[in-house]
């Protein structure tokens, strides 16, 4: 039987199912009666003809010259390049490619070193399955604790880190080391004089030591909340209501001092703490408003009386001066006459007396 093998093809010659040799471009005649068959395959990409094991095919020198056999060692990641360009990630242990028209090669990277090195480029990383590595991104003001098989190994600062999951199970704890605020809203407290009030308290804190904190504290916010609540009750409960309202800043300082004494328990540093608001019951608020109105009214009355006394004293001083000085009295009289004239629309003069004299008589005084 006639077989024509094209330039981009290869033929696998078998006799009675047993591989004989591989043939390339050309015309061939094989007798079917003698048990010969020829399997034809395109010489591009990965070898598809695996009816015969590679170990048998590799006995033929023509076959070995036309293919490249790549094996991926244990503990290594493989990257396949075609004509020098990265194309895929090696997810199998063995590859056989036709190496006639395209150049195939595999680059391997060891996963024995747990931290991924710089030899793995961004393009290579995009092909690696996510389950093979762990990526840790540490932002500004953050730190990360890395664990190999639940054993803490390293503390990471700002940056991007990648670890192979081949030798160890990689986990991490990302901690925010920046200062944070904690607000206690509507905390109910019974004062020293048995009046129930509500109080809003705020504090600022930051983690002191990431390693110690991770090993000691599990629920930081919940534990801090409880600690601040206890400090408020212990301190504020010793004061009467009027003392709390008058000494708000001093009591805030006492709360801050109590928290500073307990900060070692939580591996944090308290930066500030203080009372934001004091919320009184409705009836207490009405009483205090009434007291405030009464105080302000009394103050206003005192000021009004003081002004009246000052005004009377000023009039008395003026009267004494005019009584002692006749000329001053006349000048004051003329001043008042001038003010009267400014309000008069028409003046009628009777008799022979002068205008000033008549106006003076109207005022009950002698003319100048």
Q: How much is the pLDDT for 367?
A: 39
What phi and psi, each to the nearest 5 degrees, are found at residue 222? -65, -40
More confident residue, 15 or 299: 15
Share of the chain above pLDDT 70, in %: 88
More confident residue, 288 or 129: 129
d(CA 210, CA 216): 10
What phi and psi, each to the nearest 5 degrees, are found at residue 353? -70, 150
Task: State mean pLDDT over 330-347.
Answer: 69
Which pLDDT band holds residue 347 (cuts at 50, 70, 90)? low
Q: How much is the pLDDT for 108?
A: 94
d(CA 246, CA 279): 14
Q: How much is the pLDDT for 303?
A: 83
- Which residue, among 132, 148, 114, 126, has the nearest Cα to 77 in the 3D structure? 132
Give tens-digit pLDDT for 202-230: 999 999 999 999 988 888 889 999 999 99
Record the tokens describing residue 357, joined without a space: 């004299």
Radius of gyration of the chain (CA): 51
d(CA 96, CA 20): 20
pLDDT at 179 over 80: yes
d(CA 214, CA 173): 8
d(CA 151, CA 303): 77
Within the chain, residue ranges assigned H as helices are: 54-57, 61-66, 122-125, 210-216, 220-236, 241-246, 248-266, 282-324, 326-343, 355-362
Q: How much is the pLDDT for 189?
A: 84
Long-range pairs for 29-32: beta carbons < 8 A, 24 or more residues apart: 29/1, 29/2, 29/3, 30/1, 30/3, 31/1, 32/1
pLDDT at 76 over 90: yes
Instruction: Return the SS3 of 131.
Output: helix
pLDDT at 348 over 90: no
Give tens-digit pLDDT for 229-286: 999 888 888 888 888 888 889 999 999 999 999 888 899 999 999 888 888 876 666 6
d(CA 250, CA 272): 13
b/e map 12-45, b = 16+ CB within 10 Å:
bbbeeeebeebbbeeeeebeeeeebebeeeebee
Q: How much is the pLDDT for 86?
A: 95
Task: State mean pLDDT over 302-330.
Answer: 77
Give tens-digit pLDDT for 128-161: 999 999 999 999 999 999 999 999 999 999 999 9
Q: How much is the pLDDT for 248?
A: 87
Q: How much is the pLDDT for 340?
A: 73
Give tens-digit pLDDT for 78-126: 999 999 999 999 989 999 999 999 999 999 999 999 999 999 999 999 9
Q: How much is the pLDDT for 297?
A: 77
Q: Scanning the structure block, which residue is given the tokens 């109910």?
A: 188
- Which residue, among 197, 202, 194, 203, has the nearest Cα to 278 in the 3D structure? 197
pLDDT at 287 over 70: no
Q: How much is the pLDDT for 21?
A: 92
Work out the mean pLDDT of the chain and round it to a whole number: 85
d(CA 155, CA 210): 8
- Lowest pLDDT segment from 51-65, 137-151, 187-201: 187-201
Q: How much is the pLDDT for 368?
A: 42
More confident residue, 20 or 195: 20
DSSP lists the bridge partners of residue 180 as: 205
**Do residues 82 and 54 touch, judged by C-beta distance below 8 A?**
no
pLDDT at 65 over 70: yes
pLDDT at 167 over 50: yes
Q: How much is the pLDDT for 197?
A: 83
Record the tokens describing residue 331, joined without a space: 């000048």
């Amino acid at each position: 039987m006639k077989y024509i093998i094209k330039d981009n093809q290869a033929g696998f010659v078998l006799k009675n199912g047993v591989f004989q040799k591989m043939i390339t471009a050309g015309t061939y005649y094989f007798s079917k009666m003698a048990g010969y068959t020829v399997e034809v395959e395109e010489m591009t990409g990965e070898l598809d003809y695996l009816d015969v094991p590679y170990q048998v095919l590799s006995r033929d020198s023509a076959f070995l010259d036309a293919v490249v056999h790549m094996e991926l060692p244990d503990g290594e990641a493989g990257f396949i390049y075609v004509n020098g360009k990265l194309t895929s990630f090696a997810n199998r242990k063995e590859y056989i490619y036709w190496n006639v028209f395209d150049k195939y090669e595999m680059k391997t990277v060891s996963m024995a070193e747990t931290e991924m090195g710089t030899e793995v480029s961004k393009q290579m990383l995009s092909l690696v399955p996510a389950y093979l590595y762990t990526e840790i991104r540490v932002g500004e003001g953050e730190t990360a604790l890395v664990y190999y098989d639940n054993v803490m190994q390293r503390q990471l600062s700002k940056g991007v880190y990648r670890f192979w999951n081949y030798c160890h199970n990689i986990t991490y704890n990302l901690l925010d080391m920046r200062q944070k605020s904690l607000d206690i809203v509507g905390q109910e407290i019974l004062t020293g004089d048995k009046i129930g009030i509500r109080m809003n308290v705020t504090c600022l804190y930051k983690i002191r030591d990431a390693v110690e904190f991770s090993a000691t504290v599990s629920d930081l916010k919940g534990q801090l909340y409880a600690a601040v609540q206890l400090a408020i009750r212990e301190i504020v409960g010793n004061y009467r209501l009027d003392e709390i309202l008058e000494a708000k800043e001093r009591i805030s300082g006492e709360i801050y001092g109590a928290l500073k004494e307990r900060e070692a328990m939580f591996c944090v540093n308290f930066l500030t703490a203080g009372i934001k608001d004091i919320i009184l019951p409705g009836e207490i608020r009405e009483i205090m408003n009434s007291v405030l109105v009464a105080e302000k009214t009394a103050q206003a009355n005192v000021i009004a009386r003081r002004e009246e006394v000052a005004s009377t004293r000023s009039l008395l001083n003026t009267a004494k001066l005019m009584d002692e000085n006749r000329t001053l009295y006349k000048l004051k009289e003329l001043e008042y006459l001038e003010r009267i004239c400014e309000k008069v629309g028409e003046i009628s003069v009777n008799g022979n007396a002068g205008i000033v004299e008549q106006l003076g008589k109207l005022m009950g005084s002698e003319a100048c």
